[in-house]
Amino acid sequence: MARKETLAEMESILKQRRNALVTALNGDDSLLKEMNQQSGGDVVDFASDSAFGELSSQLAEVASRELVNVDHALKMMRAGKYGKCENCDTNIALARLQALPYATCCIDCQRENERNGSPQPRSASWGNVIDISSDDIRLSDLDTNFS
């Protein structure tokens, strides 16, 4: 399969992943709101609720970071730069992109980044993440032309 066709498939995968992440984050948000509205209970209930809330918060943070990375990859597709290493401008191996569709560096540059202390991860804008519903996403806004 040609690189161009594989990159087009990656766009579809990224869009599906983005929709799944937005849906999950909206679900996590509603669960947290529901938990905060509950009152009463004993100390064990409170501890259980606190642990669940902390776990949900951490999972939402991980999902939001992934969403930021997916959005960045889609932005790079629109700019015609997807699949190119952001450090050395070489093609990122297709196997790497298939394993990690939002990879921004070739494997050599990634290893070097990790040796030297990885650059700061992209941060999530919670206002943008939680307020978006999957119904609000227009895939036409994310369409990319690989010609």
Residue-number span of the structural domain to which 113 is assigned? 3-133
For residue 104, being part of any structural domain is answered with yes
State the CATH number of the domain containing residue 32: 1.20.120.910
Number of structural domains the chain divides into: 1
Distance between CA atoms of 96 and 66, rounded to whole angstroms? 16
* pLDDT for the residue numbered 4: 85
Structure tokens at 16: 């599906």
- Residue 113, helix vs strand vs coil: helix
* pLDDT for the residue numbered 47: 61
CA angle (112 as vertex; 111, 117 as ends), nearest 5: 100
**112 Cβ contact list (under 8 Å, min separation 6):** 87
Point out the residues of the chain with pLDDT beneath 50: 29, 31-33, 35-36, 39, 124-142, 144-147
Distance between CA atoms of 122 and 76, rounded to whole angstroms? 14
- Whether pTM > 0.75 for this model: the answer is no
